[in-house]
Amino acid sequence: MVTSAFPLVQSASALIDSTPTPDGLVETTNTIAAGGTVTSSLQWPWLLGVVAVVTLAVVLVVTTRARRQGDTTMGAGLRTRWVANSARLAAIPGFTTWVRKYRWWQWLGAISGVTALAGLGVVAARPVTVEVKQTTMSTRDIVLCLDISGSMLEYDRQMVDVFGELVEGFDGERIALSIFNETSRTVFPLTNDYELVAKQLDIAYEALDPLVLDYASATIIDRYLAFTEGTALTFTQSSLIGDGLANCALLFDDAGDPNRSRSIILATDNDLRGEPVYTLSQAAELTRSKNIELNALYGASSWVLNPNVERDYQHVVEDAGGYYYRADDAAAVSDIISRVQAQQAIDLDAAPEVTRSEHPGGWLVLAVVGLGALLLVQGRLRE
């Protein structure tokens, strides 16, 4: 961080440019490589001129009055008395030392006064820092699609961890999370508020506790039920994967916008228990028809793990032009991030965030120090 006369943050590659603004601010703009600017400004710069004029007027008045008084002693109204044979006083070491100290205190008083006036002038002019953050919003949309049926509980936390790693690798993408069992629930719609995304993924991780299967405690059960509310209607079916994927495909807006790329990251064990409206094949074809890239993660508990079911899942995904990964594949996260980011079509400029704050700090301290020094000097000169 580099600090100038006014508090501001600069990058090493900042481009400095001074410009006036419509509201009368005097600005020094620093363009930051990350896409923002920090501007040092004076809200009322004309006050500096007023202070300077007033100071000059006071100096002229005092000087003029001193000259008009001639040799009249200050405040006594008496004529100066000339003393004969006093020239030798200038040769006395003690006298000359006293005169030098007196002159030094006078100069120190003048410097202190100027310092105090400069500090007060800038404080009165209200130094402000205006920070404009211009962020770039990616045109990539990603929907995280998570199977939260009972057979997935042993793997759901691992899936949520994978989702978290993916989110950490994204920058500016809009992300949504949908969970499904018999029916679907949108946890959060497409957003680039990564703080919200991280918070919701933490909630999902806490709620999808495999101890739910053991009825470990009422707290664990209540947390799971609260998070999965709305994903079961009749409780006679579960893990309707095709319907879950189809609902995820419908979460994208601007479906006809060629500037937006769309991806779904589906996590399931493909353990179908019921009669869905969409089969997995039909839902996968739906994503293809909407130009949505499908990335599929497979993870299954030991008691439902079935090589044939996994193979069917992989074939359906790849036949629809999607990509298949096992949840424990160390390369899955980096591959998905690279593939999603490779779809980038165009960047959009988001509305800039403007923050204005007053920072009189250093100048206020300078004014106080100057006034304090001036009072000290005045006291010494009266002694």
Q: What is the CATH number of the domain that holds 189?
A: 3.40.50.410
Name the residue range of residue 195's domain. 136-349
One domain for residues 332 and 363: no
Q: What is the pLDDT of residues 108-151, one digit of tens each?
A: 777 877 777 777 777 777 777 777 765 555 678 899 999 998 88
Q: What is the pLDDT of residues 199-215, one digit of tens each?
A: 999 999 999 998 887 78
One domain for residues 371 and 295: no
Classify residue 142: in a domain, yes or no: yes
CA 186, CA 146: separation in Å to the nearest integer? 10
Classify residue 302: in a domain, yes or no: yes
Q: What is the pLDDT of residue 349?
A: 54
Dihedral sign for Cα atoms in the order 320, 325, 327, 330: negative
Give the count of domains, the chain. 2
Classify residue 378: in a domain, yes or no: yes
pTM (predicted TM-score): 0.57
**Position 291 pLDDT exceeds 70:** yes
Classify residue 13: in a domain, yes or no: yes
One domain for residues 160 and 288: yes
One domain for residues 212 and 107: no
**Position 309 pLDDT exceeds 70:** yes
- Are the beta carbons of 118 and 110 closer than 8 angstroms? no
Q: What is the pLDDT of residue 3?
A: 34
- Number of Cβ atoms within 10 Å of the Cβ of 77: 8
72 φ/ψ angles, rounded to the nearest 5 degrees: -75, 130
Classify residue 81: in a domain, yes or no: no
